[in-house]
Amino acid sequence: MKKILGTTLLLLGMTVFGQSKEDSIQFSKISLEVLNNGKGYNELRELTKNIGHRLSGSEAYEKSVKWAEQKLRDAGANKVWLQEVMIPVWVRGKESLHIKTSNGSWKSLKMLSLGNSEGTNGKDVSGEIIMVKSMDEYNKLTAEQVKDKILFFNYAFKQSFIETFKGYGDAAKYRTTAASLTAKKGGKFAIIRSLSSAFDDVPHTGAMRYEENTSKIPAVAIGSTTADELEALLKNQKITAKLNSNCGMKGEKLSHSVIGEITGKKDQSVIVVGGHLDSWDVGEGAHDDGAGIVQSIEVLRTFKKLGIQNNHTIRVVCFANEENGVKGGIQYGKFVKENNEKHLFAIESDAGGFAPRGIALDMDQTKRKQIQSWSKLFLPYGVYNFEEQFSGTDLYPLHDMGIPAAELMPDSQRYFDIHHTEEDTFEKVNRRELLLGAITMTQIIYMIDKNW
Amino acid sequence: MKKILGTTLLLLGMTVFGQSKEDSIQFSKISLEVLNNGKGYNELRELTKNIGHRLSGSEAYEKSVKWAEQKLRDAGANKVWLQEVMIPVWVRGKESLHIKTSNGSWKSLKMLSLGNSEGTNGKDVSGEIIMVKSMDEYNKLTAEQVKDKILFFNYAFKQSFIETFKGYGDAAKYRTTAASLTAKKGGKFAIIRSLSSAFDDVPHTGAMRYEENTSKIPAVAIGSTTADELEALLKNQKITAKLNSNCGMKGEKLSHSVIGEITGKKDQSVIVVGGHLDSWDVGEGAHDDGAGIVQSIEVLRTFKKLGIQNNHTIRVVCFANEENGVKGGIQYGKFVKENNEKHLFAIESDAGGFAPRGIALDMDQTKRKQIQSWSKLFLPYGVYNFEEQFSGTDLYPLHDMGIPAAELMPDSQRYFDIHHTEEDTFEKVNRRELLLGAITMTQIIYMIDKNW
Ligand SMILES: [Zn+2]
Ligand SMILES: [Zn+2]
């Protein structure tokens, strides 16, 4: 028995070694193809420079739908289609925020209304600013103190986390809840310090939510240095803020997610790779999430170009409306359920086009361990982290249906300097970093397609 | 025996666990201190914006010596001194490169003379361009073919390596040898395609060398897109190039490396952490190697600020003249030898201020394995790679004396887009990425100081 076991282990070992060598050769082919011939970077230039930012509901978003359709065909998808999605239409319009110091002079502050926020309908709304630096400080304020005031939530993004997504998660509640918290205590509007890892004057937008049964008052964001200056001013004087804005929800609209696939040779169970096609209405939506879109298209092109015969259907989904409604992700989940389509795996890239460091795994332990057992293959590509983590907003409906979900984990250091700002431009994306992300996604999909 | 062994292993295990926990707490303190209070980023702003590029031999370099001296004192060094170094003085002066196409019109090309190259003494030197794309193609050329011509070495930086330093190493011989290779076959001067991972028009300078007994003809670099355009032009016509430059070696000069230390409590054996203070004479020397300088100073400050009682002397060395002579590194090695100073370990940061991924280890196996056994402590900081690798130019003299040497390994994807160019500016450095590198260096030095 001992000998037989030895032999069996040896044979197993050889098989694993043989497999592993074949896989490592395939990994290398994928990498060479993408680094030498990848089109993702030039495609991102087109998307960001020819179309620019593309909030769902905008004309630009509709242009990006046509663009993505064409790119998927060019990449070799044998089937490309649009999936209908009803999306909320939020429009920013003109907006301004001024403060008056005790000497009576008005000063304009650089600001952005938060996404989905209502505005002031073009009228001046003003009041005295009260600053809180934490939820604790907010909780101590009485309705009497807040009535007719402007609440300034000056909570600083924590620099102390190594993964900046943790800092973002920690601060996010201020963005989502500031308006309703202010309204509950009778305030006129809310100002928040941006969810920003940078010490600059760039305001960051992003989605907020209104609680039910609270009045829909405006919420705006200011940059870190403006927040610091305002804090300094408030130390020794009363400051009045005046907001004038036109933003607001303008109903719904029919729009589309864009889908393209290479049908599987063995069966038609589906492997999804995607990103979101929409962006906020500032900057160019380059890292968020033009990067994820062009990387996903690159995966498909690389399979075609290398002639890898995929067993299962590899499907690129360019989700609509991730930023201010997630209607594309929700609709795709419904579609899968209604059509009873078997899905093996889904991965999204929506954390920026930076050099990849890992793949976040959101699935049962068995599947996770299997993927982790492949980790050595990824190490030469700088990809070493295969932890259990949240898999990305658009995939959540799939995850809830029990489908193994994953997200590309790029280096997170620079993302929240530019996330949801005018600074999220093509120039901030490095060609090699972007392509490395596409390589990681192609490699993991190659492994899933082969082994699952 | 079995039981005793079991108990011994258990106790050993507990010790390791206890140690490891203490170390992991210390790692966290270091990280919090640097991310929250680190001064490296602001210091880099001073060095790059107030002083700018600082080729050794220049006035700016002398300013940076004074600056570094002050910063080391501010950081808490109890001993700061200047180490005399005789450095070569190379001066660029005015320079221009033109090409004449077959239609007779002259066009100016963006270019940089390579560092240490002689120029044309302000005279026009011209000739027909012959292009080679590899050493093989060069080897096939006869002296007759090359005589009085301009040799254009159009070897493209390979995109296919994951680590861009491998691409740099692969292409570097073209930069170092182009002039002498051209001279040997009677050519007038050499043009090289820049050692660049970017597809742009930015020329990269960097050191070249003259072989003995070959005439010292000029060598210049052009950017990637200019090289592509020149290649396209050469397909169907003869192209004349005309160079006019004033660069050249202007003898030697006495200058200094800057050294600061916190003397060890237990003994005075030395742990070195350093970077090079000089830069090329274009851009601001931000990533190369202002980053390494401010990170090294940050290490010292962090030890002082956290009140870590260092057993051994922790010494920051800001090396002079890495770029075009390595005289600072060589001089430091001599000093150590002459003074018979015991050195435990030396680490340099000279690969850019990007997010760290590892530490290159250049030492015997025993020491290397010990450091590798600590790797789990570094993993939460994104630092996972502890391979045996070359330890950096300035430390080579120490390495040759048997001193364990190491180099911080930051993410390499962006470095060779901007290395040795006008684009190596403060704006290209991310605050968090820079500070993370300082954290890694402080952590490894903490471990060495405690355990060696
Ligand atoms: Zn996104
Ligand atoms: Zn350097």
Rounded to 5 degrees, φ, ψ at B41 are: -70, -45
Contacts of A413 in chain B (CB under 8 A): 355, 430, 432-433, 436
- Interface probe, candidates B159, B387, B418, chain A, greatest A C-beta count within 10 A: B159
- A24-89+251-451 CATH, one of 3.40.50.300, 3.50.50.60, 3.30.70.1350, 3.40.630.10: 3.40.630.10
Contacts of A160 in chain B (CB under 8 A): 31-32, 35-36
Q: Is the pLDDT of residue A6 over 80?
A: no
Least confident of A265-269, B248-252, B309-313: A265-269
- Count other Cβ atoms within 10 Å, centred on residue B2: 6
Q: Which pair of tokens denotes residue B26?
A: 């210390």
A430 to chain B, closest Cα gap in Å: 7
pLDDT score, position A374? 97
pLDDT score, position A390? 85
Q: In terms of C-beta density within 10 A (0-12 exposed, 13-18 middle, 19 or more buried), how is residue A46 classed?
A: middle
Q: Is the pLDDT of residue A283 over 60?
A: yes
pLDDT score, position B392? 82
* pLDDT tens digits for range A326-352: 999 999 999 999 999 999 999 999 999
Average pLDDT of chain B, as a whole number: 95
Rounded to the nearest whole angstrom, what is the distance from the C-alpha of residue B351 to the centroid of ligand 2? 7
Rounded to the nearest whole angstrom, what is the distance from the C-alpha of residue B167 to the centroid of ligand 2? 16
Mean pLDDT within A3-28: 64
| Partner-chain contact B417 A430, CB within 8 Å | yes
Cα(A439)–Cα(A426) distance, integer angstroms = 20
Q: Is A411 on the interface with B (CB under 8 A)?
A: yes
Q: Is A311 on the interface with B (CB under 8 A)?
A: no
Which distant-in-sequence residues (6+ apart) come within 8 Å of A395 by Cβ? A272, A274, A329, A346, A347, A348, A362, A403, A405, A407
Average pLDDT of chain A, as a whole number: 95
Hunting for tokens 């800057």 — which residue is that? B258
Higher pLDDT, A14 or B73: B73
Least confident of A200-214, B5-19, B51-65: B5-19
Q: Hey, where are the domains in chain B? A: 24-89+251-451, 93-246
A48 to chain B, closest Cα gap in Å: 18
Rounded to the nearest whole angstrom, what is the distance from the C-alpha of residue B394 to the centroid of ligand 2? 9
Contacts of B417 in chain A (CB under 8 A): 430
Report the residue from A199, A413, A432 with minimal CB separation from B433: A413
Q: Closest-CA residue in chain A for B432?
A: A413
Report the residue from B36, B160, B411 with minimal CB separation from A159: B36
* pLDDT tens digits for range A388-427: 998 889 999 999 999 999 999 999 999 999 999 999 999 9
What percent of chain B is predicted at pLDDT more than 70?
Answer: 96
pLDDT score, position B18? 66
Q: Is the pLDDT of residue A221 over 70?
A: yes
- Interface probe, candidates A379, A411, A425, A433, chain B, greatest B C-beta count within 10 A: A411
pLDDT band per the 50, 70, 90 thresholds, residue A24: very high
Q: Is the pLDDT of residue B2 over 50?
A: no
| Partner-chain contact A35 B430, CB within 8 Å | no
| R_g over Cα of chain A | 24
- Say if pTM beats, i.e. exceeds, 0.90: yes
Contacts of A430 in chain B (CB under 8 A): 413-414, 417
pLDDT band per the 50, 70, 90 thresholds, residue A263: very high
ipTM of this predicted complex? 0.95
| Partner-chain contact B164 A417, CB within 8 Å | no
pLDDT band per the 50, 70, 90 thresholds, residue A1: very low
Rounded to the nearest whole angstrom, what is the distance from the C-alpha of residue B280 to the centroid of ligand 2? 9
| Partner-chain contact A411 B414, CB within 8 Å | no
Domains A24-89+251-451 and A93-246 share a fold: no
Q: Is A44 helix (H, G, I), strand (E, B) or coil?
A: helix
Least confident of A9-18, A120-129, B17-26, B107-116: A9-18
CB B302 within 8 A of CB B442: yes
Cis bond leading into A289, ω under 30°?
yes
Rounded to the nearest whole angstrom, what is the distance from the C-alpha of residue B15 to the centroid of ligand 2? 41
Q: Is B198 on the interface with A (CB under 8 A)?
A: yes
Cα(A449)–Cα(A291) distance, integer angstroms = 23
Q: Is the pLDDT of residue A13 over 50?
A: no
* pLDDT tens digits for range A103-137: 899 999 999 999 999 999 999 999 999 999 999 99
Residues within 5 A (CB) of ion ligand 1 = A 288-289, 350
Q: Please report which ligand is nearest the Cα atom of A329.
A: 1
Q: Is the pLDDT of residue A18 over 80?
A: no
Q: Which pair of tokens denotes residue B35?
A: 């991310």
pLDDT score, position B4? 40
Q: Which pair of tokens denotes residue A227?
A: 């927040």
Which distant-in-sequence residues (6+ apart) come within 8 Å of A417 by Cβ? A196, A197, A198, A200, A423, B430
CB A108 within 8 A of CB A98: yes
- B93-246 CATH, one of 3.30.565.10, 3.50.30.30, 3.30.413.10, 3.90.1150.10: 3.50.30.30
Q: Is the pLDDT of residue A43 over 90?
A: yes
